[in-house]
Structure 1
Amino acid sequence: MLIERAYVDVPEGTGTVEDGWPWTVPCVRQLAEDGLAFGAPVTFLVGENGSGKSTLAEALAEGFGLDSYGGSAGYKYASSREASLLGGLMRFDPTREGRGMVRGPRVRRRGFFLRAETAMEALNRERSALKLSRSPDDMSHGEGFLMAFRERFAQRGLYVMDEPEAALSFSSCLELVGLMDELGRGGAQIICATHSPLLTALPGAEIVEVGEHGMRRVEWAELGLVDHWRRYLSDPRAYLRHVLEG
């Protein structure tokens, strides 16, 4: 692990609900007040759309020096996007193993930020920088994701993912679970925002549920998404009768 706690260095006079977004988002407000501790190499952020989990994932990536548009650490090949307000205020308490990377110059930081909506463009930039063996344009969306996982998720660093399951089949998600476990055992750290009950079932991972309550740690079996998937697969009509005519 590289980071044991993330927090926001909030300037005096900011960081309250009265200051507007992003402080009106409950998980961001809790982050500003209490910080977010990490107790395992893999942390999942789970919540409904609009809960703030993607905002949180992006800010963590930006604060570490990962390209805010998606891609590698160090900003050498980064997009022209400026860091968000929250990302610019993000700070980290490193572990002993992560001290040199977190507190050293940005060029020493290693990792990758993969966000579903910009992944292919980011991967094409990685290919232009000769960091990938093939062009993502020559393969399917899911194959491009898997190539990134295999070739860019390969060393100790911080790996932030925002809904990586969006392009992946069931078997590909299982492959990603195996890679997360391997990276974590090798000293890397993974933070993943997801809706997937498959990914979040990784043994030993921490799950942080994000919502109106802010943030709280939960067990896999306690997740609402796990319960809903169980019920839906058991009896789809119990759900579909609420959304289908007739």
Structure 2
Amino acid sequence: MIIERAYVSAVPSDEDEAEWPWSVPCVRGLLADGLRLTAPVTYLVGENGSGKSTLVEALAEGFGLDSWGGSHDWRYASHRPKSVLGERIRFDAAPRGRHMLGSWRARKGFFLRAETALDALDREGFAPDAVSHGEGFLAAFRGKFLHPGLYVMDEPEAALSFTSCLELLGHLDRLVRSGGQVICATHSPLLTALPGADIVEVGDHGMRRTTWDELALVEHWRRYLADPRSYLRHVLD
């Protein structure tokens, strides 16, 4: 493990706790209890608007990765300022993590976000225009997810087929076996089925640990695949 717990010490004195991002339930949970990371792969799962992307972006920023996406080698290449939450993220780290946090040269990692992944990959020399969107994502996994470090992802399944998601799982398994750590926001029942992964469900309740079988998204997919009409009748004329 590299990071064992993430937390925020307090809301800045000039900020209103009723305003974003402090009003987001998962951020309030981070303020109250922090987020313990107990496995090499942690999935954050929740509906759109639940705050999981806000959370993973702040965790990436707290580790020193550019919020626009990219590797540790491209710190703040987008010239975007850190978010107010990212500025205040703190970590309890394992020994290797303390070494990384204490030395920029020792720090390794990558932040992959769906909206900006191809731009970040182009900046790092992967020439994604020469391949499909999904192949561009897989290029990052093959070429950048190699070394022990912190790898943060925001909905990587957005560009991937079923088969490509399975390939991603193989990359993640090899990465954590070599000493890497992964934090991933996702809607994918396929990705969250990775054995040994920790699953945190994000929503109006804040954050709570759960299992794959208990995830609402898994139950919805089961029901939909068994009988699509039971869902479609509510949305189609």
TM-score norm. by structure 1 comes to: 0.93
Structure 1 residue ranges (4+ consecutive) displaced by more than 6 angstroms after TM superposition = none
1:85 partnered with 2:84: yes
**Aligned counterpart, 2:174:** 182
Give the SS at the match of 2:85: helix
Q: Aligned-pair RMSD on alpha carbons?
A: 1.4
Q: Could you tell me how far 1:199 is from its partner in structure 2?
A: 0.0
Identity, % of aligned pairs? 68
1:62 partnered with 2:61: yes
Of 144, 147, 171 in structure 2, the residue corresponding to residue 152 of structure 1 is 144
Q: Is the 8 A contact 2:66 2:75 kept in 1?
A: no
Of 200, 207, 228 in structure 1, the residue corresponding to residue 192 of structure 2 is 200
**Aligned counterpart, 2:109:** 111
Give the SS at the match of 1:204: coil
Q: Is the 8 A contact 2:64 2:75 kept in 1?
A: no
1:225 partnered with 2:217: yes
Q: Is the 8 A contact 1:27 1:215 kept in 2?
A: yes
1:244 partnered with 2:236: yes
Q: Is the 8 A contact 2:58 2:89 kept in 1?
A: yes
Give the SS at the match of 1:172: helix
| CA distance in 2: counterparts of 1:26 and 1:189, whole angstroms | 25
| CA distance in 2: counterparts of 1:12 and 1:84, whole angstroms | 13
Q: Could you tell me how far 1:16 is from its partner in structure 2?
A: 6.0
| CA distance in 2: counterparts of 1:125 and 1:203, whole angstroms | 33
> Unaligned 5+ residue runs, structure 2?
none
After superposition, what is the alpha-carbon deviation per residue over 1:191-246, rounded to whole angstroms, capped at 9, x for unaligned? 0000000000000000000000000000000000000000000000111111111x
The number of equivalent residue pairs is 237
- What is the identity, as a one-letter code, of the residue corresponding to 1:27? C
Q: Is the 8 A contact 2:67 2:76 kept in 1?
A: no
1:164 partnered with 2:156: yes
Q: Flag the 1:142–1:73 CA change in 2: closer, same or farther, 3 A.
A: same
Q: Could you tell me how far 1:106 is from its partner in structure 2?
A: 2.6
Q: Is the 8 A contact 2:5 2:35 kept in 1?
A: yes
TM-score norm. by structure 2 comes to: 0.96
